[in-house]
Each structure stands twice: as C-alpha cells, then as structure tokens.
Structure 1
Amino acid sequence: MSLKAVPALLLLVVNQFAHAELAQNLSVDIRSLSLGNAVTADPPGISAIHFNPAGLSHIQGLQTDVQGLMLNLDIKREFSAPPGFNVFGYSDDPVVCDVPKTQVNSNGLCPNFKTSSSKVNGVSLYVPILDKFVNWPAGLPVTIPFAAIAYRAPGSKITYADAFYAPLAVGFNQKDGDPGNFMGQQVALERITYLSPSASYQISDNLSVGASVGFNYAAVALKTDLRFPNELFGVLRLVDENICAPFKQNGSIVTDLLLFGLCNAKDTLGPFKKVATMEVAMQQTLSPSYNLGLLWEPSNDFAFGMVYQSGATEKLKGHYKVTIDPGAPELIAALNSSVTGQVLSALLGFPGAIPTTSEGIASMTQEYPAHFQAGIKYKVFPDLQVNFDIGWTDYAAWQGLPIVFDRPLAVLQFAKLLAPGVTADSLTVPLNYQSPWNYGIGIEYSMTDRLKLRAGYEPRTSAIPDNQRSTLVPVNGAQLFGLGLGYRFDKDTDIDLTAAFIRSRDSIPANTSNLSNSTAIDNLILNPYAGLDVKTNTKIAILGIAYRTRW
C-alpha cells in the first residue's frame, strides 16, 4: 500500500464522524422528527425502543408500526482564492484558476481567479451483499423503510417489542471532474439496527422502566480522488520545471548523481496534480449496543423521561484499492535509476517501485458514542402540549482513532520518525472532538379528537473544533425544523405524516483547518484545498409516513 492510500482512509474516518453527528436520529421515527426529537417523556409508539424503551408500557395487546422515509441531500461547496494565494509560489490551481493551463504564466502564477462550485449529484448506498456502491437515480429521494412489532398480554405489566430501523444511513455521489471530488466522490455511511429485542415493565400506574438490546450492522465506504497541495510537492515541481529543464535531453551520469536521478522522470508530482483514486469499504456485521429508559407520569398533564443509549465498540474491517496516476511511479523509478537516488530512497524508506494499482486489507476500531437524553412533556392547555428535551453525546470519545494495515508500509516507517502515534503498520488519526449539550423543543396541538398538528425545532451544536472542520460535510452547527400531523382513523389505527428540514452552513477561511485547507508543511495528508477559502451549505429534506395499528 502506498502513501496515496493513507489519506483516503483518514478521509473515510473523518467523513464517518462528520456524518454521524449531522445525521443522528434522522431515520428512526417520523413522529419524533416532527417534534424536534424531543420525545423522551412522550415516546412514539414502538420507536420508544430507541428514544425511551420505558414508553413501551403505553402499548396494549399486539401493535405493529410500518414507516417509510424519503430523504434528499443538497450539499454545495464553494472554493475561492484569498489575496496572496500560492503554494510554494505556485497559484495555478485548476480548482480556482480561471484560465486554461496554456495561458498560465511560465512561473506558475494564475492571472485571474474564479469561485468554483461543487454540488452533490445524488444519493448513494453501500450494499453489503453486492459489496459495492449503488447510486440512487439523480434527483430522486432515497427511500428508507423500517418496521416494528410489540405485544403486551392482557393484565401483564411487561411489554415485549422488536424493531428494524437505521440510526445512521446517509450517502452521496458527485460527477466526474467535480472540484469537490478530492474530499469524496462517492460516500456511504450506515448503522442499521436489524434486531432490537426490548421489554418494558410498569412498576406502578405512573412509573415504568425499559431496556432494549440492539444488534447493529455498520459500514463505511468511500471513493475519492487524491491530491496534495503542499510545500513539499511544490519543491518537486520546482525541481522538475526549473532545475531539471536543461538536463531533460542532455542528462549524464554526473547530473544523475547530483540530482538523484530526478531529471529522468517522464512525469512527476506537483501541488495541484491529481495523484491517485482510492476506493475503500469497511464493515462489521454485528455491533451490539443497549438502551435503558425511565418514564414517570404523575398526571395526564405532565411526564418526565430519560434514556441512556450505550456506546459500542465498532471493529470495522474491509478492503481498499488504489489506482495511481503516472507521477508517483515515474518519480520513484527515476530515483532508483541513480546510485545517489537509491541511497536517498533507502534512507527515507521509499519503496523500490510503485505499482499503478494496489489492493489490501485495512481495519479500524472506533467507539460509537454513548448518548444521554432527558425531557419533559407538559400540557399548557388541554389541547396544547409542549415537549422539551436536553441531550448529551459522548463525542469526546473520538480523541483519536487507530487504523491498522495488513502489512508494514514503507511510508509509515518514514512517518513514524516525524509523527507520534505512527508505527510501521498502523497510525492514529487525531480528532480531539468535544461533547456538546443540545436541546430540542416540540409542540403538539390537538385540533380534534382525531387530528393532531405538530412542530419541532432542534439546534445542533457541533462537536468538531474549528481547526478540524472538513469540506466533506459542513457540521459546524446545524438546525432541524419539523412539521407533522397525526390522524386517528379508528381506535386501532393511526397515521403520522412528517416533513423535516435540516440546514448547516459553514465558512472555513484559508489555513484554518488541519483537515481541509492548511498550508503548514507538516499537514501533508488531508488538506486537498490548502490555501483556499471554503464555504459549505448542506440541506437535507425529509418526508415520511408512519402507519400504526393495533390487533
């Protein structure tokens, strides 16, 4: 495995955590979305398995829930060059340079800049059985079904339940040539609860407790282009275009010895050149977790609930494939064509050759964060109910993440001399996330005995420090707005309809994020937009329907 595969795996990790935060509780229950997920004291049917399993005590007899959710992603990014933009003196970055390469000055300076836009083309899913991406038809929202069943025997204090749902399911794809492809052309992240045996116990008329165990499938998959706009790659371009130019056709043993054979390269690397394309997918078929809940309802007008959703240790394993552009193989071949170049390669731990394609196995262990939430419901008037929740998610568990490879890597043998947390066959990605508190508020108005109207709002504080922000998905704060209605057809049948909208905007000025646009010489791995100003705008629209019936 080459240097080019390492940043793609790091990108995969950063992408998973960014999406996990933004997409939390978006594909679990329709009614909850319409109330800003403020439902700990007002659990929604059998979906109480997730939000507060103590709420299963509200169920009598046999009940089934079937829900469907349609989700549409609108992710946009803008890249622009600030005054004085350059990487090692070069500014002809095709992402922002507004002239053809043939019109760029001979010294690599761009005479005119543009603001470049990137846009998601459609939704992508990773299908484990097929072991590949499936791109949803462009412009068509992805449909996610989930179902649940619960039973409480007459006269019993115990309710049993099970549900299939998706705590996290999101993915997207972009067209070839999109400037955003250096931070993911195809992305899919999934955590699917396929079994969740649960039970609640009604201790008294107004107090219940409950628990559920989740059997989860987890997967992350990514296809991305790679480039490294860094000072070190600027040096390589300078050597090729300025120092080696006189010797390209007139080389000799002397020049080979003095210049380490670099001038023999037919192609080389540069700060703005695409270096490789990387595909990687990792999964775990069983990742267990559990939920514990309590519900206290002293009157019809007031209730208090709380839930603890455990963390989970995810041990993901999968495969990678990297297709390398000519620059890197040519450069290594040129080094090895000279005696001094071979000595330099040995000292730096460079491989003897770089194949145009390589494949292997990678694994990583991560902590899916624990979550605590508590809330109340209160009937201000007989027909108007207000829900309010506060919640905390342990994103601080993501201080760093170790990735292990199936063989020692030459690049890591070199990197371990410079970077802490690196060995010959592993490295640790520094994240330094924080654990924020958030709140949600929901309002439900009973217009008639059959019809209820709902509205909700949930602002989401980002767990990502400013210097770790990524262009992949803007997560430096988000807002969820929900609207919905519930209609009771008869005493045994309810329909819920919901429309929800999430927006998240971010601005990442040049050289402020170590995972997007830093120009520091030691930030080589994950800064494909080094020196550029980045703006991001994400919108997620959700429509859903739930059918609940008792038998």
Structure 2
Amino acid sequence: MNNIRLSPLVTAIILTGCSSAAFAQLGTNLSVDVRSLALGNAVTADPPGISAVHFNPAALTKIEGLQTDVQGIIANFDIQRQFSVPAGYNVFGYSDDPMVCNDGPEISADICTDFKDTINGDVEYASLYVPILKKMVDLGEGMPLAAPTAGIAYNPPGSKATFATAMYAPLIAGFGAENGNVGNYMGQQVALERITYLSPTMAYQVNDELSIGGGIGMSYQAIGLKTDLRFPNELIGMLRMIDEVVCTPFKENSDIITDILLLGMCNTEEGMNPFSRFGQLQLSLEQSLSPSFNLGVLWEPREDFGFGMVYQSASKMRLKGKYHIDNSKAPQELIKGLMSSPTGQILAAILGFPTAVPASESGLISMDFEYPQHFQAGIKYKILPDLQVNFDIGWTDYSAWDKFRFEFDRQISALKIAKLLSADINDTSLALPLKFTSPWNYGIGLEYSATDRLKLRMGYEPRTSAIPADKRNTMIPINGAQLFGMGVGYRFDADTDLDLSIGFLRSKDNIPANSSSLSNQTGVNNILLNPYAGLNVKTDTKITILGLNYRTRW
C-alpha cells in the first residue's frame, strides 16, 4: 500500500531518465550537417566546411578567407507502437484490461472472453520543448521537426590559423499523441534537445600534412515529459480482490469492529484496479549553459589518403526544473480509508505512510546529468580518381548512464516511504539504476565526382543499441538501428556550393511479455514502471531527414 503513494512520482523520474537516454542515441548527429548525413557520418577524415567544428576541428584549416554556412534540416518521426496479448495473460487473476479486452460492461467476469488481436498506440505528431515558454509545444499531425543551423569561419591571409563558430543541434527529438492513445502510459509528450548556440573554435596547420584543432561548445539542454500513469501490478490486483471480494459484504454496513479488523480499507468510494489510470504527470528539466570541448587531428600524407581523429568531451550538468502530478481518486481513497480506522492509522504511523494523498502535487526537481563523451576516428581513400570512400569507427560512453540520481528541494513523503524498499533512496533523493553499455559503431560513405561541379554521395551507419535487453520500452522506440544516406553536392562557382541530402533511419524492436523491467515485466516487484505488464510489445520507428546547405566564400 505504501507503494501506491510512491508510484506516480517515482514513475515520473524513471520516465524522464529513460527518455533522455533513448533520444540521445536515437537523435545523435542526425541534425548537425547535411553532407555528413549523406555519408553515414563517416567524415572524421573528411569533415564538411564549418561543421568541422563538431566532426573534427582540425579540418577548419581547409577553409580560405571568410566562409559562411547556412543549413536547414527537417526530420519526420514515424513511430508505431503495438501491443498484443500472450497466452495465459493475467494480473493477479484479472485479465479484463479494457486496453486489450473487447468485453463490454454487460460481461461481469474478471477473465476476458474476447481479446483484441493487436492494439495500436502510434505516435501522432512531433513535439518540441520551447525554452522561453518553458513548455512543450505540439507541432501538429504530419509536421516535421526543424533544425536550422549556421556557421562562420575566417582564415586570415597568409595565416596558418583558422577561427570559427557555429550554431547547430547535436540532438533534437520529440513526439506526442492525443488523449486516449494507449501509448500515453509511457509518454504522451516527450521532448529532448541539446542546442549548441556558440562554439568558438581554432584550427592550426602544423605543416602541409598535419593540422590540429580544438574548440569549446556552449549548449542548452532540456528534457520535457507529459505522461499518463497506470500500474498493472500483482499487489494492486490483490487490493482489487480485497475491495471486490472481502469488502463487498461490509460496504454498506461496516462498523467499528470491521474497521479495526480490515484497517479501514473497505471505507473507500472507489477501489484500486491494476488497469485503471492513476493520474498524469508533467515534468521539465533544463540548463541554459552546458559547456564541452572538442579536439581534433587531421593527417593527410598523400592527396588520395587522409586520417582524422576527434574527441568530444563529456558535459556534466545540473539540470533543474519542476514537476506536477494529478492523482486519480482511487489512491486518494485508499489512504483516506486507512485514516478512517484506528488500526489503519497505527499501521500508517509505523510504516510512515502519508496521512492523505492530494489531488495534485507540484515541486522542484534537479539531477546531475552527463552528456556522454565520444571518440571517433576514420580514414578517407580515393580508390579511383573520381571515387572516394570514407570509413569511421566511433565510441560513445553511454555507460556513464549507469545510474541517474534525482534530488528535491524538500523532503518528499513518497521518498520517506520508498527508502524502506531500496538503499538508493533517502528522504530527498532517488537513484535510478539503468546499466547502459558503451558500444562501438562504424559508418561508411562513398563520394563520386561525376563532374568538376557535381558530386554524388551515399552512406550507411548501423547503430548498435546501448540499451540493455531488459530495459527496452516504448518510450525508447529503438534497439539497433540502421541509417541510410544519399545526397548531391553542386558547385555553382568558385565561391558557392550547395548540398542536398536525404537520410532514413529505421529500427524495429520486439519486447516479449515479461522481458523488460521498464515496460512489461509481471510480478509484485514491477510496480515502478511496467504499464504494459504481461503484454507483448513491438515498435517500428522510421525517421526521414531532409537537409539543404548553402556555403559561400567571401
């Protein structure tokens, strides 16, 4: 019963951590540079113009005079979420979940007689967190996310140093759905963004073959979440059984004896149900200045071969924000019932239960969050005079997300209860174990010079998931993924270039029933976050990116 009070707040925290982790992998490098997208991001040895600020600062030495880059990138998210019922589905003997059961109110059985074949909870539109408004904004059905970028670089005449800065989005993603969507229990609206608004960078040409570079990135980081809550748990199933079976004879004629013996649990106007909506939560966290640095090396011993290497530092932040929870009537009634009984009050005092569950709760929340460090190295090689191949390998330290710790500006009664269950919890903080891994990935790109003016490009980047198999869920609509890119580059004159690219990322995931502790695990210990307990879950994510870059030398 103490867990009922704990559930909404803890679930909110878990969902926030998962959403950030999810999109960090899903959206990385999809909205930085058009040419890189077409080459599968295999550009460490062949960085594109001013975007070298991000991919390899050393390559800025290839710029002469004053150069500006302006890019427009749009992305469309198509995320399908499906749920189905396996054989033997039930929660503490109940299977009449209206989400998956066709039975109407005329059928009073606790066991469903007619299950739906497949239940769809697809994402319906893109969402974006707006810093000035400090809230998420729906972009409308069919509307894509947009990420305009710009940069400027200058190489003084006769100088071996080049200076540059760029504004770009290393990470931007968000989605949402209308009220009533069955996917809303793991995020009705989710938004994550990291925007680098200033990146002073310098590159130096050591000699004709070697260049080095480094820069500082000043970024804005934000996480936004709105989600419905439900807890199909064995413990709540037992509370339903008590309400419907044990308490039925005493609902209208209870007395002091029954109140004492039954702890007041039968004095409720609405009983607990594992399939009911328990409320809704809204949450936002942000930091206006999140610094990091990039270091790069570029070695080109021959005209047809080059080697590049870049290190992008971790960025440690202290995200701060607010949360708001709307609690439904059932958990309020449960605690109210306990407080109506002398024995219930004694039990609540011994265990530290709250004396009431409010209709809504609001407060301040903060967390230490680390945007992970990244290392990448690659080569470029002209296998033919007009055909160049790029190959990169990279590593991102997602293992930094072993555990997320959330802190509050006051003592939280829910945490006072939860600390009885875990050593990771005290009165004002909660630590969430995630156990992410740090995989290596590769990318390959081809560039063909059809004429002196026209270049054709294509690339491929398979993305290995950093998310453990037992932590997958619908808010992380990706496990492994494949990114395909194609593009053209056209030089109008000696000082003007135009790049057009299209990218397509695809990921399918299958989460069998009872296989993920952050999605569909059954049992008594799944109360924190398993809104689809006992169900089979599938996701199919498609992201289409279109970008245009206009580059001019002055």
TM (normalized to structure 1)? 0.98
Match of 1:325 among 328, 347, 372: 328
**Structure 1 runs of 4+ with >4 Å offset:** none
Q: Distance in 2 between matches of 1:161 and 1:352?
A: 60
- C-alpha contact 1:160 1:200 (8 A) present in aligned 2: yes
Q: Distance in 2 between matches of 1:23 and 1:456?
A: 17
Structure 2 counterpart of 1:27: 31
Q: Distance in 1 between matches of 2:109 and 2:262?
A: 22
Match of 2:92 among 88, 93, 103: 88
Verify: 1:545 aligned to 2:548, yes or no. Answer: yes
Residue by residue, what CA displacement relative to the aligned partner does 1:129-158 show, whole Å, maximum 9, x if unpaired? 111111112112222101000000010000
Residue by residue, what CA displacement relative to the aligned partner does 1:290-321 show, whole Å, maximum 9, x if unpaired? 00000001111000000000001121100011
- C-alpha contact 1:104 1:111 (8 A) present in aligned 2: no
Q: Distance in 2 between matches of 1:454 and 1:103?
A: 62
1:108 is displaced (CA, Å) by 4.3
Distance change in 2, residues 1:370/1:143 (3 Å):
same
Q: Distance in 2 between matches of 1:104 and 1:293?
A: 68
- C-alpha contact 2:7 2:527 (8 A) present in aligned 1: no
SS at match of 2:121: strand
- C-alpha contact 1:492 1:550 (8 A) present in aligned 2: yes
Q: Distance in 2 between matches of 1:300 and 1:95?
A: 62
SS at match of 2:277: coil
1:411 is displaced (CA, Å) by 2.4
1:459-474 map, 5 Å: 459-474=462-477
Equivalent residue letter for 1:234: G
Equivalent residue letter for 1:119: D
Match of 2:521 among 518, 528, 538: 518
Q: Distance in 1 between matches of 2:110 and 2:493?
A: 77
Q: Distance in 1 between matches of 2:114 and 2:252?
A: 31
Residue by residue, what CA displacement relative to the aligned partner does 1:350-402 show, whole Å, maximum 9, x if unpaired? 21111111110011112111000000000010100000000000011111110
Equivalent residue letter for 1:61: G
Match of 2:70 among 66, 71, 74: 66
- C-alpha contact 1:152 1:160 (8 A) present in aligned 2: yes
Verify: 1:420 aligned to 2:441, yes or no. Answer: no
Verify: 1:450 aligned to 2:442, yes or no. Answer: no
Structure 1 counterpart of 2:16: 12
Q: Which 5+ residue runs of structure 1 have no aligned equivalent?
A: none
Equivalent residue letter for 1:106: A
Structure 2 counterpart of 1:222: 225
Match of 1:346 among 349, 352, 366: 349
* Amino-acid identity (%): 58
1:467-486 map, 5 Å: 467-486=470-489
1:104 is displaced (CA, Å) by 3.9
Residue by residue, what CA displacement relative to the aligned partner does 1:70-90 show, whole Å, maximum 9, x if unpaired? 110000111111000011111
- C-alpha contact 1:97 1:114 (8 A) present in aligned 2: no
Match of 1:184 among 187, 202, 210: 187
1:109 is displaced (CA, Å) by 3.6
Equivalent residue letter for 1:80: S
Q: Distance in 2 between matches of 1:250 and 1:157?
A: 91
Match of 1:47 among 51, 55, 70: 51
1:235 is displaced (CA, Å) by 1.0
Match of 1:126 among 125, 129, 133: 129
SS at match of 2:175: strand
Verify: 1:260 aligned to 2:263, yes or no. Answer: yes
Distance change in 2, residues 1:104/1:290 (3 Å):
farther
1:110 is displaced (CA, Å) by 4.3
Please say which of residues 438-447 and 113-122 is displaced more in the overlay: 113-122
Structure 1 counterpart of 2:495: 492
Verify: 1:79 aligned to 2:58, yes or no. Answer: no
Q: Distance in 2 between matches of 1:7 and 1:298?
A: 55
Size of the alignment, in residue pairs?
A: 550
1:273-292 map, 5 Å: 273-292=276-295
SS at match of 1:298: strand
Verify: 1:174 aligned to 2:173, yes or no. Answer: no
Q: Distance in 2 between matches of 1:104 and 1:50?
A: 61
Residue by residue, what CA displacement relative to the aligned partner does 1:316-349 show, whole Å, maximum 9, x if unpaired? 1000111111111111111101111111212222
Structure 1 counterpart of 2:444: 441
1:2 is displaced (CA, Å) by 5.5
Residue by residue, what CA displacement relative to the aligned partner does 1:134-186 show, whole Å, maximum 9, x if unpaired? 11121122221010000000100000000000001111110110000000001
1:3 is displaced (CA, Å) by 3.6
1:227-246 map, 5 Å: 227-246=230-249
SS at match of 1:119: coil
Structure 2 counterpart of 1:56: 60
SS at match of 2:349: helix
Q: Distance in 1 between matches of 2:115 and 2:475?
A: 26
Please say which of residues 466-475 and 525-534 is displaced more in the overlay: 466-475
Q: Distance in 1 between matches of 2:68 and 2:523?
A: 56
Structure 1 counterpart of 2:160: 157
Match of 1:355 among 336, 358, 379: 358
1:98 is displaced (CA, Å) by 2.1
Q: Distance in 1 between matches of 2:347 and 2:113?
A: 34
Structure 1 counterpart of 2:373: 370
TM (normalized to structure 2)? 0.98
Please say which of residues 418-427 and 537-546 is displaced more in the overlay: 418-427
What value does the CA root-mean-square deviation take over the aligned residues?
1.1
Q: Distance in 1 between matches of 2:110 and 2:196?
A: 56
Distance change in 2, residues 1:103/1:534 (3 Å):
farther
Q: Distance in 2 between matches of 1:110 and 1:503?
A: 37
SS at match of 1:93: coil
Structure 2 counterpart of 1:106: 109
Q: Which 5+ residue runs of structure 2 have no aligned equivalent?
A: none
Q: Distance in 1 between matches of 2:421 and 2:139?
A: 43
Structure 1 counterpart of 2:394: 391
1:523 is displaced (CA, Å) by 2.0
